[in-house]
Amino acid sequence: MLRRAGAWRVLRGALGSRVPNVSRALIAHSSGGRGDAEPRPLPLSYKLLDGEATLPAVVFLHGLFGSKTNFSSIAKAVAGQTGRRVLTVDARNHGDSPHSPDVSYEAMSQDLQDLLPQLGLVPSILIGHSMGGKTAMLMALQRPDLVERLIAVDISPAPTTSVSDFKAYMTAMKAISIPQKVPRSQARKLADEQLRPIVQDTAVRQFLLTNLVEVDGHFSWRVNLDALAQHLDQIMAFPPQQQSYPGPALFLLGGNSQFVQPSHHPEIWRLFPRAQMQMVPNAGHWVHADRPQDFMAAVRSFLA
């Protein structure tokens, strides 16, 4: 996963982040076990680019271990080329958003159902990559009135455990040990060296290291690693759904990726009967990073 070095070109902007948002350091308690009817939404961190209020806004949702900075360059390009408002969001347990033991897609969907109306951004166009794509799909299925159309980037409403290396990444990240009071550059070097035996792809290590932050001389991961590791199987799955989404949907797939298999297509068509599927040649799982121009062209065409 994340095999292509091009991913780092889009993600590198996140490395400037040093101190996480104070609210994220607090554990936000949620009522949302899977048995609860409605999880409690969390106040997500976001960045909103201004645009024409009469056009549906575009909302970018990142994947596991990502943050809103993953889409910074593309968000600016979409805003500039389409004139639309563009929102990038940190999912719960990621970036500068609060932490919670509830990592369910129901909870992540509820977070958006709470945020987007507050910002006056409904109905909106959801563009979600990987985990963010599953959040976008579930929100569209639960609240089609809030979603004008949907783009799922290299993900489907089917289990993805068999092609994921996330468990190994989490094991390596949890094993990291960095002395206090070392310079940031040295801390990054030490973390990189400790990750290398398990995470051999340089681009993957650089991506994971965007989550290394310093607080009062102590280095730690800004993602809620314990909760994500404990519920990884839940993140790799997708909540069973019966109702379909009636709006337009685009499934934008990496030509070199194994995340969306032909066996997933029937479930895509069942839940998203108006879905289009488009393959981006020479792109891995990170379609927007590997082939940004092709990604932008596909987005513009779908929004036209």
Q: Which residue out of 97, 130, 156, 164 is catalytically annotated?
A: 130
Helix (H, G, I), strand (E, B) or coil at 190: helix
- Is residue 102 annotated as part of the catalytic site, yes or no? no
Alpha carbon distance, N-terminus to C-terminus of the chain? 31
Say which residue the tokens 């963010």 belong to: 132
Residue 67 known to be catalytic: no
Picking from 62, 18, 19, the residue whose alpha carbon sits closest to that of residue 44 is: 62
Among residues 174, 131, 170, the alpha carbon closest in space to that of 153 is found at 131
Instruction: Measure the CA–CA gap between 195 and 203, rounded to whole angstroms.
Output: 12
Give which of 228, 197, 198 is closest to 211, Cα–Cα. Answer: 228
Tokens of 236: 């790799």
Residue of 192, 226, 231, 244 marked active site: 226
Whether 231 is a known active-site residue: answer no
Which ranges of 46-165 would DSSP assign to H, the alpha helix? Answer: 72-82, 105-118, 131-142
Number of neighbours of residue 117 by Cβ within 10 angstroms: 13
Catalytic residue, chosen from 62, 129, 264, 285, is 285
The per-residue b/e assignment along 212-239, b for 16 or more CB within 10 angstroms, e otherwise, is: bbbeeeebebbbbbebbbebbeebbbbb
Active site (catalytic) residues: 130, 226, 285
